[in-house]
């Protein structure tokens, strides 16, 4: 159907940029983002997400196939549009489709007969055809599956992971009819060495993606609950998991904070759709509630340890190591470390937050808190919470940062047992 492919990737974040770069190595590709500053940074070889290094970015930008733009007119000659915008939730954990709707309006305004629109954003089953396609039809004046077509291929990017990159991860694909499904599958197969799996429908592909993260969320919630139980019993959770992990079919999940733009969000999308059709999901929401409470739990347990050691909590100096949602990654979206911080604030503590990976301006804008890249000199702390397992923190001499009477709480379980007072 489409012989000379010209691809537009809408949204150049953690998902869109690596995908656009891969397509840009082989096809005429326009990477589009409404953030002018982001586009200018990319033109200068700067990727603040750290997913693509400068050499790779410059190399692809100079090959004659790939370009980046914030000008909608540069999309007009494209015939395949791939939408990779975020799908967050609002303050009440309800799906927020605004970025997806705006992106669909942008694509619809340049859509032509024969074009294909592929969505990668994580959604609940039905969003592509029930929410996005009507916007494409209304904006373009074209008819779905007659004048233009759609596909869905959920993203599986793991931010900060340099091993499981976009070209190496097996990709689920789908199309709005059997012919389009083959075209979409062939398109991704042409850049992905990890292979593809052609789902039977767009809704099946949407559902497959949203349960991937929901499954992980539930499993982590289970070990988080185990951690709470074993702490009360005076048993080390990590030692229990190591012992249980010797069985061949034991699932090796670890306790911790569950944030970010995927695992901490996607279960709410599935729950929302379930409730719309009259089913109240119990396990999914129970897992979410438990995981959403882990930040407060960490802070409360640290306070208890301080009180037990006779440390005055009000006015105490507490160091929090890490603010990003995961280790060795600059992404601060939906980080659950903020829940630790907010709980400590209720006890009138003095907080120092250090993260060598986070962008301080972004943290200030998102959460209205100040962070530092490096540790303050000649300062000692009443308590330290190792919240994120950045590689830099493993090298710290934790004991040299502590007052004579102090507490260390290790959220990530990476410090030696004799160095900590508490951990998940």
| Same domain? 163 vs 302 | no
Count how many domains the chain has.
2
Residue 235 belongs to some domain of the structure: no
Residue 54 belongs to some domain of the structure: yes
Tokens 């540069």, residue?
74
| Same domain? 13 vs 116 | yes
Contact (CB, 8 A) for 276 and 372: no
- 262 as an active site residue: the answer is yes
Q: Which of 183, 209, 235 is the last residue of a domain?
A: 209
- Which structural domain range is residue 305 located in? 293-423
Residue 140 belongs to some domain of the structure: yes
| Same domain? 189 vs 332 | no
| Same domain? 48 vs 168 | yes
Residue 417: CB atoms within 10 A of its CB come to 11
Residue 343 belongs to some domain of the structure: yes
Which residues, 6 or more positions from 95, have their beta carbon under 8 angstroms from its beta carbon?
Answer: 87, 89, 123, 124, 268, 269, 272
Q: Which of 350, 355, 296 is nearest to 326 (CA)?
A: 355
Instruction: Enumerate helices (H) and strands (E) in the chain, giving the number of each.
Output: 15, 13
Contact (CB, 8 A) for 120 and 87: no
Residue of 78, 132, 262, 329 with catalytic role? 262
Residue 139 belongs to some domain of the structure: yes
Residue 185 belongs to some domain of the structure: yes
Residue 302 belongs to some domain of the structure: yes
Read off the pTM: 0.92
For residue 60, the domain's CATH number is: 3.40.50.720
C-alpha 314/C-alpha 75 separation (Å) is: 57
Residue 214 belongs to some domain of the structure: no
pLDDT in tens, the chain (424 residues): 666 899 999 999 999 999 999 999 999 999 999 999 999 999 999 999 999 999 999 999 999 899 999 999 999 999 999 999 999 999 899 999 999 999 999 999 999 999 999 999 999 999 999 999 999 999 999 999 999 999 999 998 877 777 788 889 999 999 999 999 999 999 999 999 999 999 999 999 999 999 999 999 999 999 999 999 999 999 999 999 999 999 999 999 999 999 888 888 999 999 999 999 999 999 999 999 999 999 999 999 999 999 999 999 999 999 999 999 999 999 999 999 999 999 999 999 999 999 999 999 999 999 999 999 998 888 999 999 999 999 999 888 888 999 999 999 999 988 888 889 999 9
| Same domain? 41 vs 179 | yes
């Amino acid at each position: 159907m489409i012989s000379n492919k010209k691809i537009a990737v809408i949204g150049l974040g953690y998902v869109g940029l690596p995908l656009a770069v891969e397509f840009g190595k082989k096809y005429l590709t326009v990477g589009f983002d409404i953030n002018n500053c982001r586009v200018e940074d990319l033109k200068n070889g700067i990727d603040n997400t750290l997913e693509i290094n400068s050499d790779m970015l410059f190399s692809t930008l100079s090959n004659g196939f790939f370009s980046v733009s914030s000008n909608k007119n540069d999309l007009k000659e494209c015939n395949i549009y791939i939408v990779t915008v975020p799908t967050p939730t609002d303050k009440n954990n309800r799906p927020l489709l605004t970025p997806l709707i705006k992106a669909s309006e942008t694509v619809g305004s340049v859509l032509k007969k024969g074009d294909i629109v592929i969505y990668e954003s994580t959604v609940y089953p039905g969003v592509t055809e029930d929410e996005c396609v009507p916007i494409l039809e209304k904006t373009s004046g074209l008819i779905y599956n007659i004048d233009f077509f759609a596909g869905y291929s959920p993203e599986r990017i793991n931010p900060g992971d340099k091993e499981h990159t976009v070209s190496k991860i097996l990709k689920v694909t789908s199309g709005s009819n059997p012919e389009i499904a083959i075209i979409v599958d062939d398109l991704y197969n042409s850049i992905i060495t990890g292979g593809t799996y052609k789902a039977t429908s767009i809704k099946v592909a949407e559902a497959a993606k949203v349960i991937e993260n929901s499954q992980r969320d539930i499993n982590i919630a289970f070990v988080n609950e185990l951690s709470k139980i074993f702490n009360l019993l005076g048993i080390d959770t990590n030692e229990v998991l190591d012992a249980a992990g010797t069985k061949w079919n034991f699932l090796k999940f670890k306790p911790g904070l569950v944030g970010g733009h995927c695992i901490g969000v996607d279960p709410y999308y599935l729950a929302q759709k379930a409730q719309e059709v009259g089913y109240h999901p119990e396990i999914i929401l129970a897992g979410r509630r438990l995981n959403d409470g882990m930040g407060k739990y960490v802070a409360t347990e640290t306070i208890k340890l301080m009180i037990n050691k006779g440390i005055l909590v009000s006015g105490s100096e507490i160091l929090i190591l890490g603010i990003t949602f995961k280790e060795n990654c600059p992404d601060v979206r939906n980080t659950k470390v903020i829940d630790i911080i907010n709980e400590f604030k209720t006890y009138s503590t003095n907080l120092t937050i250090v993260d060598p990976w986070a962008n301080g301006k972004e943290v200030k804008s998102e959460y209205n808190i100040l962070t530092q890249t490096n540790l303050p000199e000649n300062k000692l702390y009443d308590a330290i919470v190792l919240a994120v397992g950045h590689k830099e923190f493993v090298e710290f001499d934790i004991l040299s940062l502590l007052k004579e009477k102090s507490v260390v709480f290790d959220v990530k379980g990476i410090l030696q047992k004799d160095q900590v007072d508490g951990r998940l």
